[in-house]
């Protein structure tokens, strides 16, 4: 697990967690962006975009062929950003909680 933070002065105003994992489809790893959070008062200032772009850079350094993440279908504010900086995969997630 890796983490990056966004700071404003001496305050952390955003975080992102990401992991690299193997895939049966590629020689190199994939990068899963697991958590992205920015403080409400700084949303819309480009901090979320900067954190995602920083993950893209780390993924390139590691030879990853993609960065991907999930969001809830009701997270429409975040999806306005995601639609600008990534492509929707078209996949639907299924899960069974154990």
The model's pLDDT over 22-63, given as tens digits with 9 standing for 90+, comes to 999 999 999 999 999 999 999 999 999 999 999 999 999 999
Whether the pTM exceeds 0.85: the reply is yes
pLDDT score of 74 more than 90:
yes
Taking the C-alpha atoms of residue 83 and residue 11, their distance in angstroms, rounded to an integer, is 28
Taking the C-alpha atoms of residue 72 and residue 45, their distance in angstroms, rounded to an integer, is 22
The sign of the torsion formed by the CA atoms of 80, 75, 58, 39 equals positive
Q: Half-sphere exposure of residue 30, counting CA atoms within 13 Å on the CB side?
A: 12
- Domains of the chain, with CATH numbers? 2-68 (3.40.630.30)
Rounded to 10°, the helix 47-61/76-85 angle is 50
């Amino acid at each position: 697990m890796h983490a990056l933070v966004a700071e404003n002065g001496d305050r952390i105003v955003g975080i992102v967690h990401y992991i690299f994992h193997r895939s049966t489809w590629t020689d190199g790893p994939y990068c899963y962006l697991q958590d992205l959070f920015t403080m409400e008062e700084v949303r819309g200032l480009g901090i979320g975009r900067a954190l995602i772009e920083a993950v893209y850079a780390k993924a390139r350094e590691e030879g990853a062929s993609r960065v991907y993440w999930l969001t809830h279908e009701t997270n429409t504010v975040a999806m306005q950003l995601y639609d600008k900086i990534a492509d929707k995969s078209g996949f639907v997630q299924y899960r069974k909680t154990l």
